[in-house]
Structure 1
């Protein structure tokens, strides 16, 4: 792990871990925020929308994925989960914010910018390959190398067959 990644991953993960713990402790508040969104989506969901259970799942996912990211275990997967959860949190918090006062609108804006920044950081962490090529890049180059090597082998075999046929026919 590089000198930058070593402190950066736990720094990014800390906000998600604390938020996950908060969601687990205050399930009722999180469920209340999720309620309008879940009411609208309940027709499309293949399961009954239990707000408290979904709030716990979101909190547990944030806590678990944040801990994994902080420890450097499955960093791209955990960062991807955190980006997804952060996007959901951004939408839910933006929809449920109190905008009846100027202070409420300013607070909503500050929360929106914070959440967008965290989502962006998690997205960057999700695509960070730590200086190693991604699996897609490696697979693509492995296939190209196999085609090149296979092409040379095929040409070599073709020449050998033609040579053998020429010797047989010419003899």
Structure 2
């Protein structure tokens, strides 16, 4: 469980960094939010919940690039889905990756747009990067909190730029999707 939590959190942070470095406007807004919330002091625990744009940025990253592309379940009782009658005992796999890119749910689904999460609560049937229902990831709250703190401190402490102009490709790492070859960056300055 610790290995899975560590790997998935690190992968999401890599994707978030990759996306933010491609969008200077997003990076500038994140830095301004951090300046307004924490100033030059270390981020205090009670300030984490005030980082709404940072939270939206991480959610948008997880929408576009969920670490686990699908979740599996075994039906405990029969279920009707559309025109299909599914028997108890059948394995089903909702696809997180495809659901979170549906244009009827997410306008311009390929576009990185953290604003879509500001002031909006998504349905668990349209946004479920941690799975859903009773089997949702037990570490979701911890992982989300951890990612907020790490990403905020990274942005506060260093100015980075991408080391490559090439688009980072999605690769398989076991059962997860991760940046193929990592996300190479260059530290331009330190705070």
Superposed pair shares fold, TM > 0.5: no
Task: Give 1 or 2: higher helix fraction.
Answer: 1
Task: Give 1 or 2: higher strand fraction.
Answer: 2
TM-score (norm 1): 0.31
Greater RCO between the two (CA within 8 Å, min separation 6)? 2
- Greater gyration radius: 1
